[in-house]
Amino acid sequence: MVPHSMPPDRLTATFSALADPTRRAILARLVSGEASVTALAEPFEMSLPAISKHLKVLERAGLIVRSRDAQWRPCRLKAAPLKDVADWLEHYRHFWEQSLDRLEDHLRDVQRKEKRLGRGKQH
């Protein structure tokens, strides 16, 4: 129920890998299929080494894999860690839904009290 009871280590690694707009854009590009480093670098005003650095971070976090077979070593998305993040956020949904249930109860009390004190709106 409480979000931080989720396993934190892998999540932390995933979050720090995702906490960068370039890396998220790279992942978004990989959603439509594997791509070479050169192709991934194209939309950015960034050197190939800079892009490679980002790819290493993503690879370490298990968000992408790089093929050993082909010489151009294409990158491919691995969605499992993203699914963990999505599940983690879902826990927040339960947290908020239950809080809002209690908020509704609380506001019913507040309005009953206001009415009793005659401060409620007349219409």
Question: Which residues bind to other proteins, rule: CB under 8 A?
Answer: 1-4, 8, 11-12, 15, 18-19, 21, 24-25, 27-28, 31-32, 77, 79, 82-83, 85-86, 89-90, 92-108, 110-111, 114, 121
Taking the C-alpha atoms of 40, 45, 51 and 57 in order, what is their torsion angle to the nearest 10 degrees? -100
Sign of CA dihedral 76, 80, 81, 82: positive
On whether the CB atoms of residues 6 and 81 are closer than 8 A, the answer is no
CA distance 37 to 35: 7
Least spacing, CB of residue 105 vs other proteins, in Å? 7
Q: What is the smallest separation between the CB atom of 71 and other proteins, expressed in angstroms? A: 27
- 68 vs 119, which CB is nearer to other proteins? 119
Give the residue from 76, 81, 89, 80 showing the smallest Cα distance to 17: 81
**Considering the complex, what minimum distance in angstroms separates the CB of residue 119 from other proteins?**
11
Work out how close the CB of 60 gets to other proteins at its nearest, in angstroms, rounded to a whole number.
17
